[in-house]
């Protein structure tokens, strides 16, 4: 009985996600579902990418948090359309939430939409939102072993950002082990090392996102 209910929920989410994807594709919109642990640097990365792309491409942001509009306010300060979803305890966004808020985001065709999922390295990976790209952010202080432990998240990723590389000298982070863990799970994921603090690597990330955006359109 329990299992049947769970299956139904997942099926309903998948249906809505497919509808979302179709609607985004028709409008040439690239949607990036950004997933990571709390504090890994989701908002920092979004802000850096917005800064690099402002005036070059239309953009919008959907912020997912259990509570508060702290991150949405940072995006709003850059003059980019943003909507905050508060899940009120839920550990992930789902396709219906995205379907509900998209009309209010009011973005132009051919834009890029960044969805900052709720900080969590497990639950968001299971819920398709209808995105074009799944981007997972790992950060140096979390440790090199995360791909070995949170396999579903790294398995799902199209792009893996390794953030906070400026902290490498202060942390026992074994980069080879991190890459080994990623490669054991995924052949498709591109890994891009960045520091949102120094700005290093952001240009590579922007190039990668624009390449994918141009392919999607």
Query: What are the beta bridge partners of residue 182?
Result: none
CB neighbour list of residue 128: distance below 8 Å, 6 or more residues apart = 13, 14, 17, 95
Cβ partners under 8 Å of residue 178, min gap 6: 138, 144, 145, 146, 147, 162
Q: Which does 192 bind (CB under 5 to 8 A by kind): ligand GTP, Mg ion, none?
A: none
Q: Are 13 and 136 in contact (CB under 8 A)?
A: no
The answer to whether residue 41 forms part of the interface with ligand GTP (CB under 6 A) is yes
Q: How far is the CB of 196 from ligand GTP (least distance, A)?
A: 4
Kindly tell me which of 128 and 193 has the beta carbon lying closer to ligand GTP.
193
Query: Do residues 37 and 120 lie in contact, with contact meaning Cβ atoms separated by under 8 Å?
Result: yes
* Number of residues engaging ligand GTP in binding (CB under 6 A): 17
Residue 43 binding Mg ion, by CB under 5 A: yes
One of 48, 71, 133, 213 touching Mg ion (CB under 5 A): 71
Out of 196, 202, 205, 209, point to the residue binding ligand GTP (CB under 6 A).
196
Interaction mask 1-40, ligand GTP, x per CB under 6 A? -----------------------------------x-xxx
CA distance 122 to 45: 20
DSSP state of 188: S
How far is it, in rounded angstroms, from Cα 214 to Cα 74?
27
Instruction: Tell the smallest beta-carbon distance from residue 124 to ligand GTP (Å).
Output: 11
Count CB neighbours of 166 within 10 A: 15
Task: Determine which residue in the list 17, 35, 37, 42 makes contact with Mg ion, applying CB under 5 A.
Answer: 42
Residue 112's H or E segment, with its range, is strand 112-116
Interaction of residue 199 with ligand GTP, rule CB under 6 A: no
Q: Which stretch binds Mg ion (CB under 5 A): 17-25, 35-43, 103-111, 172-180?
A: 35-43
Among 57, 91, 101, 167, binds ligand GTP (CB under 6 A): 167
DSSP for 114-156 reads EEE--S-SSGGGG---S-SEEEEEEEGGG-TTHHHHSHHHHHH
Question: Is 193 a residue that touches Mg ion (CB under 5 A)?
Answer: no
Nearer to ligand GTP, 136 or 189 (CB): 136
Q: Which of residues 69-88 bind ligand GTP (CB under 6 A)?
A: 71
Residues making contact with ligand GTP (CB under 6 A): 36, 38-44, 71, 119, 163-164, 166-167, 195-197
């Amino acid at each position: 009985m329990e299992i049947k209910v769970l299956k139904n929920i997942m099926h309903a989410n998948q249906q809505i996600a497919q509808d979302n994807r179709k609607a985004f594709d028709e409008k040439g919109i690239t949607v990036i579902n950004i997933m990571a642990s709390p504090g890994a640097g989701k908002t920092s990365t979004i802000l850096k990418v917005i800064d690099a792309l402002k005036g070059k491409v239309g953009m919008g942001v959907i912020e997912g948090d259990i509570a508060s509009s702290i991150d949405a306010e940072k995006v709003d300060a850059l003059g980019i359309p943003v909507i905050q979803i508060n899940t009120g305890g839920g550990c992930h966004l789902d396709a219906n939430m995205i379907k509900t808020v998209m009309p209010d985001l009011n973005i132009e065709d051919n834009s890029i939409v960044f969805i900052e999922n709720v900080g969590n390295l497990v639950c968001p990976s299971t819920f398709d939102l209808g995105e074009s790209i799944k981007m997972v952010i790992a950060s140096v202080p979390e440790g090199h072993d995360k791909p070995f432990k949170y396999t579903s998240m790294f398995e799902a990723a199209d792009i893996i950002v390794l953030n906070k590389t400026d902290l490498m000298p202060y942390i026992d982070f074994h980069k080879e082990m991190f890459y080994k863990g990623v490669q054991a799970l995924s052949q498709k994921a591109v890994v891009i090392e960045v520091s949102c603090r120094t700005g290093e690597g952001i240009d590579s990330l922007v190039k990668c996102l624009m390449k994918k955006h141009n392919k999607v359109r």
